[in-house]
Chains A and B, each alone.
Chain A
Amino acid sequence: MAFVAEQLLNALALAALLFLVSAGLSLVFGILRVVNFAHGVFYMLGAYFAFTAVTVSGQFWLSLLLVPPVVGIVGALLEASTLRFIYRRPPIYQLLLTFGLALILEESVHVLYGPTAKGVDPPALLQGSVQVLGAAYPRYRLFLVVLGVAVGVAVWLFLTRTRAGLVVRAVAQNSEMADCLGADVPRVRTLVFGAACALAGLGGAAAAPMTTAYLGMGVGVIVDAFVVVVIGGLGSFGGSMAGSLIVGAAQTWGAFYLPETAMVIMYAVMGGILIFRPWGLFGQEE
């Protein structure tokens, strides 16, 4: 019984992390119609900035609060100075631009921080473990679950209950119409891109105590994010929640029972969805 509870929590913690990364990716696709290959690198930026912030200030909570907006600003600046100029072009250009940005950012981190991994210690409150049904479970993972739920609820409320969220959704549905109706479409795009990067940065900052900050963590996470987003539905926020849960559970149980084939099964599921139901579980049929 303890084992089942532990695995469940493992799946939820992993799902929370995946959700933080993929929600932004899904949003950017839904609203900007861009597949952001650099998304994983913003996740990595969040982890490294968290390392710097915690090392400099010794304050974990403060860092967790400040790092995402900083990453978001970096993202917004990049969008406004590069992507903004090529929205009218065929999608391949935007996609490849993000690819180029990913190269630049990844190597910049190498220049700034060097090639070795950086550890981040969680705050004292989140260290150690609690007893869950007789087994010791890391407190930090429980925190991740809580964080994932909190962020999910917050963003969902923003999109559905606020006026700004309404504008964002309008631009997603029909940007020209939204433009006619007075929405500042380029600004919405920049803000959404920045927000998505901030979410990814939050994911990285939250992941750092669990995985350390290391070069290549962006590349590693982007494929997972793609799987989640495809299953959930490109452009659907609810889809990224559902997709994260599915992939988190599949990877957790897959790692236990079929570690060597778990990835293959994931790709097969991804392929299956793309063939038979490309808009995923919750996406919009086009």
Chain B
Amino acid sequence: MRRREFLKVAATGGLGASLGVPVYLRQAWAQNPIKIGMPAALSGGNAQYGIQAKRAAELFAKDIKAKGILGRPVEFIYEDTAGDPATAVRKAQKLVEKDGVKFLTGVVLSSEALAVSAKCPEWKVIFMSTINGAGALTAKSFNRYFFRVNTSGPMGARAISLYLAEAPLKRFFALGSDYAWGRDSVMSFESQITAAKKEVVGKDFPPVGTKDFASYIAKVRQSRAQGCYLALPGQDATIFLKQAHQFGITREVKPIMEIVELENMKTVGEAMVGTIGSSRYPFTVDTPKNRDFVKRFHDMHGTYPDMFDGETYEGLEWLAQVIQKADTAEDVDKVIEAWEGSSYEGLEGPFLMRKCDHQAVQLGFVVEVVKDPKYPHPVPKILATYPGDKVTPKCRTEEFA
């Protein structure tokens, strides 16, 4: 082309480019979100937990919308695993390879978590647990891509054992569902309670999905225990508490739970008042930050946050801080380095991410279920708070000092 035309084109191009550059940059910014994958159990028997992870993420997405992380928007991609480990791995792989996520969270079952976490070194993505309690995840099955923000099963058992060591109750019956968590929890409880010079007068392992606990209730009554330690998953616990109340045994034997869920309180209602136990996140924690969170949560979802709602939110907030600190959302190794040893001021109190096994050291809460006219259902009242170093096991183990 001739020189004049060339100059004209160049001038127009230059002008256009200089005008267009901010637009281009803006578009690039909008097209470069930080993606967080959530392969959660959104259907099937565990859907009530998957939905908590999703609710927390939705609130977090709204809260962070204004400034984003590193100036970038955050995008959550949800996938339904139906509570099946094979599907969980498949969905997680899709999230990593097709959607390009570098962060996975929201996994519900420990079996799903173990399967997905084992793949993370291969995929080079961070797995953030906010729900999974299995001790093995930070012990036998640990890998450096795994981070656990939530209170683990052993930590919950530890908190309640510390409380019971001081309490007047001396004789306990232990009821754990016949699967990994139930058995581990009872074993942990038993060793800690006997170390506190108290007695476990009986234990039983009903199959998962038991719908009639009458015989177990009879056994508890016969054992003349003063307290009954329960490590039953959500629905089984609901059924047990209801039936125990119907048998009138809750007047004589105090139900003690390794996790006290709001879901139980909503469904069982007043029949559960008086139950004590460990809570990973009791929404009644009285700090300004938490009160504000509970209000925002209730405004958005119409219900009060349960344990996994709170812990998932805390995990996401912490992850955002850590990504900000590492100044990258792509270089996973840098994020891991930034996270190890970092502290975070959460809704329930301070957190510290241990470098040796990526378990977040945090406060342990023992709560009692009480009636409160401010709320439509019973709520957890905090009875005791234990500092993190007292309730967290030794590195890469499930034992306590």
A/B touching: CB–CB < 8 A: yes
User: Chain A interface (Cβ within 8 Å of chain B)?
Assistant: 3, 6-7, 10, 13-14, 17, 107, 110, 115-119, 128-129, 136-138, 140-141, 207, 210-212, 214-217, 219-221, 251-253, 255-256, 259-260, 262-263
Complexed CA–CA distance, A3 and B239 (Å) = 22
Q: List 19 A-B contacts (CB under 8 A).
A: A13-B212, A107-B43, A117-B48, A117-B238, A117-B267, A119-B267, A138-B243, A210-B212, A212-B239, A214-B235, A214-B238, A216-B209, A216-B235, A217-B211, A252-B214, A255-B214, A259-B205, A259-B216, A260-B205
**Given A117-B267, A207-B211, 17 more contacts at CB 8 Å?**
A10-B218, A115-B47, A117-B238, A118-B267, A136-B247, A210-B242, A211-B242, A212-B235, A212-B267, A214-B235, A216-B45, A221-B211, A252-B212, A252-B215, A255-B210, A255-B212, A259-B215
- Shortest CB–CB separation between residue B307 and chain A, in angstroms? 14
Complexed CA–CA distance, A117 and B268 (Å) = 9
Q: Is B18 an interface residue (CB 8 A)?
A: no
Chain B residue contacts of A211, Cβ below 8 A: 211-212, 239, 242-243
Chain B residue contacts of A256, Cβ below 8 A: 215-216, 218-219
- Shortest CB–CB separation between residue B317 and chain A, in angstroms? 25
Report yes or no: A14 in contact with B214, Cβ–Cβ below 8 A.
Answer: yes
Cross-chain contact of B266 among A3, A13, A116, A221 (Cβ < 8 A): A116
Q: Is B387 an interface residue (CB 8 A)?
A: no
Query: Which residue of A is nearest B263, CB measured?
Result: A116
User: Chain B interface (Cβ within 8 Å of chain A)?
Assistant: 43-45, 47-48, 50-51, 178, 204-207, 209-212, 214-216, 218-219, 222, 235, 238-239, 242-243, 246-248, 263, 266-269
Complexed CA–CA distance, A110 and B50 (Å) = 14
8 pairs of A and B residues whose beta carbons are closest in the complex: A115-B47, A255-B215, A216-B45, A10-B214, A138-B246, A256-B215, A115-B48, A136-B248
Report yes or no: A220 in contact with B211, Cβ–Cβ below 8 A.
Answer: yes
- Shortest CB–CB separation between residue A39 and chain B, in angstroms? 16
- Shortest CB–CB separation between residue B282 and chain A, in angstroms? 19
Report yes or no: A6 in contact with B218, Cβ–Cβ below 8 A.
Answer: yes
- Shortest CB–CB separation between residue A2 and chain B, in angstroms? 10
Chain A residue contacts of B51, Cβ below 8 A: 115
Complexed CA–CA distance, A115 and B51 (Å) = 8
Chain A residue contacts of B247, Cβ below 8 A: 129, 136-138
- Shortest CB–CB separation between residue B156 and chain A, in angstroms? 22
Report yes or no: B215 in contact with A10, Cβ–Cβ below 8 A.
Answer: yes
Chain B residue contacts of A210, Cβ below 8 A: 212, 242-243, 246
Cross-chain contact of B267 among A110, A116, A128, A262 (Cβ < 8 A): A116
- Shortest CB–CB separation between residue B99 and chain A, in angstroms? 25
Q: A117-B238, A255-B206, A260-B178 are in contact. Are A215 and B215 (CB under 8 A)?
A: no
- Shortest CB–CB separation between residue B321 and chain A, in angstroms? 31
Chain A residue contacts of B210, Cβ below 8 A: 255
Complexed CA–CA distance, A154 and B251 (Å) = 39
Complexed CA–CA distance, A14 and B43 (Å) = 29
Report yes or no: B239 in contact with A259, Cβ–Cβ below 8 A.
Answer: no
Query: Which residue of B is nearest A118, CB measured?
Result: B267
Report yes or no: B207 in contact with A259, Cβ–Cβ below 8 A.
Answer: yes
Report yes or no: B222 in contact with A3, Cβ–Cβ below 8 A.
Answer: yes
Report yes or no: B214 in contact with A13, Cβ–Cβ below 8 A.
Answer: yes
Chain B residue contacts of A7, Cβ below 8 A: 215, 218
Cross-chain contact of A3 among B205, B206, B218, B268 (Cβ < 8 A): B218
Most chain A beta-carbon contacts within 10 A, residue among B50, B205, B235: B235
- Shortest CB–CB separation between residue B337 and chain A, in angstroms? 38
Chain A residue contacts of B219, Cβ below 8 A: 256
Report yes or no: A110 in contact with B242, Cβ–Cβ below 8 A.
Answer: no
Report yes or no: B216 in contact with A255, Cβ–Cβ below 8 A.
Answer: yes
Chain B residue contacts of A251, Cβ below 8 A: 212
- Shortest CB–CB separation between residue B330 and chain A, in angstroms? 35
Q: A6-B218, A13-B214, A119-B269 are in contact. Are A129 and B47 (CB under 8 A)?
A: no
Chain B residue contacts of A17, Cβ below 8 A: 212
Report yes or no: B47 in contact with A110, Cβ–Cβ below 8 A.
Answer: yes
Chain B residue contacts of A216, Cβ below 8 A: 44-45, 209, 235
Report yes or no: A110 in contact with B211, Cβ–Cβ below 8 A.
Answer: no
Most chain A beta-carbon contacts within 10 A, residue among B218, B219, B246: B246
Complexed CA–CA distance, A255 and B178 (Å) = 12
Query: Which residue of B is nearest A122, CB measured?
Result: B246
Report yes or no: B242 in contact with A263, Cβ–Cβ below 8 A.
Answer: no
Q: A116-B266, A129-B248, A210-B246 are in contact. Are A215 and B44 (CB under 8 A)?
A: yes
Chain B residue contacts of A263, Cβ below 8 A: 207
